[in-house]
Amino acid sequence: MKRVKNIILTFVLAIGSVSCVSKLAYTEPELPLPEKFQYTATADTASIANLEWKQFFSDPILQGLIEKGIKNNYDLQIALKQVAASQEKLKQAKYMQYPDVGFGVSGQISRPSKNSMNGQSLNLFLGSSHVEDYNAAFNLSWEADIWGKIKNQQEVSRMQYLQTYEGSKAVQTQVVAAIAQGYYNLLMLDRQLAIAKSNLELSSNTLLMTQKMWESGDNTSLGVQQAAAQKQATELLIAQLEQNIAIQENALSILVGELPNKVDRTIEMSDTSLPQNITAGLPAAMVSRRPDVRQQELVLLESNAMVGIAQANMYPALKITANGGVNSFKFDNWFQIPASLFGSVLGGITQPIFQKRQLKTDLEVAKIQREKNVLAFRQSVLNAVGEISDALVSNENLKVQEQKATEQATTLKDGIKSAQLLYKGGSANYLEVITAQGNSLQAELNLASIKRQRLSSIVDLYRALGGGWK
């Protein structure tokens, strides 16, 4: 027992004499970040991304759809299962610094040749033609984490877990944004359908008026045909819009994890409201708030730990193995204590000398992979800043477009009344009436589309800044 203590003490001193390394230091790479986002007047620390999605979207119907999506969306559920799996691996990684312990029981009977030396020796000394061996022992193996290899392996597991966690948040932001976009698109289609139905009524009145004037001899059959074609075009548009509404309802149902079905809605697009004070915040804050960017940084941290593992594999490894139990060449006295007890402790330091350059290659490849992930991290930041800038400029320009489109729609709607009055008085022909109705219809449809685009740009900005996972 004293010898075992001496061996253990020797290796403890050996471990203490070596400078332990926990893990490689990580320096965050320089990032292509501006002081403030483009198309913003000042650098404001506030950001709409800090709002929870229930605060950002005030429509109760939309809130209900998003809540269903977070609960039932299959892509999000798959992401959460990946988080759960990596969490189990993280739990296991916490036990890496402990020794491996096993227990085994074995029995063996050997019968050597009678003409062999072993066979003759057995007959001479034991008076037997066979030998038995029974063993029951605990086995222990432990590697000292001198160079931080195990700690870096634990770091890899932790980074992989955090990657799946950030990945699940990224999926949620996409699901929330997709549901909101689909809902606003549905409201736009509702509005366009109402516009088309209103225009159909005007087209029907124009056709009726044209037919009466043709019957009285004040018009030609061509005018009736053109008015009928205008009415038919509007009917075709209504059928197309009804089809698009059904398809959008199906898409929304699938997004929230339900079978295709109708989506109840009680408000019109003009009644929707989103935060009016659109603040983007500071670019530096976006890096830690946006899940996909954070996920890419965690990939970089993982590759940094992999470099540490590759380095540690090139250094000496200290391993201690021990086993002990009961052993006997007779079954009857197998568990006779203390006579059957045995034990052994083995410790050794191994230094790789020549591995066909495998260890050096592994280290260089790990370093190159880290450099690649630095570039990928920078690219993800650049893409995020670009998405935010796109959303900001779209929102600002769509404000102007919405104002102009509103003015145009009002002007053309008044033009229909003027054209009808002039047509009745004989001062305008049927083409001018049909053209006025067609232009007005297109202007109102375009206005509804621009309103939807503006809502979408605000949702895009919210997602691009990292909002939606809270």
The string of pLDDT tens digits covering residues 323-351 is: 999 998 888 888 888 888 888 998 888 88
Contact 327, 336 (CB under 8 A): no
How large is the average pLDDT for residues 181-191?
92
- The pLDDT confidence band at residue 217, using thresholds 50, 70 and 90, is low
Question: What is the full DSSP assignment across 276-342?
Answer: SS-----HHHHHHH-HHHHHHHHHHHHHHHHHHHHHHTTS-EEEEEEEEEEEESSSTTTT-TTTTEE
Task: Examine the pLDDT at 12 and tell me if it is beyond 90.
Answer: no
Task: Examine the pLDDT at 17 and tell me if it is beyond 50.
Answer: no
Burial label for 470, CB within 10 Å (0-12, 13-18, 19+), is middle
- The pLDDT confidence band at residue 18, using thresholds 50, 70 and 90, is very low
- Output the pLDDT for position 428: 59
- The pLDDT confidence band at residue 296, using thresholds 50, 70 and 90, is very high
- The pLDDT confidence band at residue 19, using thresholds 50, 70 and 90, is very low
- Output the pLDDT for position 419: 67
Q: Are strands 317-328 and 131-143 parallel, antiparallel or unpaired?
A: antiparallel
How large is the average pLDDT for residues 434-459?
84
For residues 140 and 269, which has the higher predicted lDDT (pLDDT)? 140
- The pLDDT confidence band at residue 94, using thresholds 50, 70 and 90, is confident
- The pLDDT confidence band at residue 359, using thresholds 50, 70 and 90, is confident
State the average pLDDT for the chain.
Answer: 83
Reduced DSSP (H G I as helix, E B as strand, rest coil) percent helix, strand, coil of the chain, to 5: 65, 10, 25
For residues 439 and 79, which has the higher predicted lDDT (pLDDT)? 79
- The pLDDT confidence band at residue 16, using thresholds 50, 70 and 90, is very low
Long-range CB contacts for residues 80-89, cutoff 8 Å, separation at least 24: 80/168, 82/164, 82/167, 82/168, 83/161, 83/164, 83/165, 83/167, 83/168, 85/164, 86/157, 86/160, 86/161, 86/163, 86/164, 86/165, 87/161, 89/157, 89/160, 89/161
- Output the pLDDT for position 431: 65
pTM of the model: 0.82
How large is the average pLDDT for residues 179-200?
90
Task: Examine the pLDDT at 23 and tell me if it is beyond 60.
Answer: no
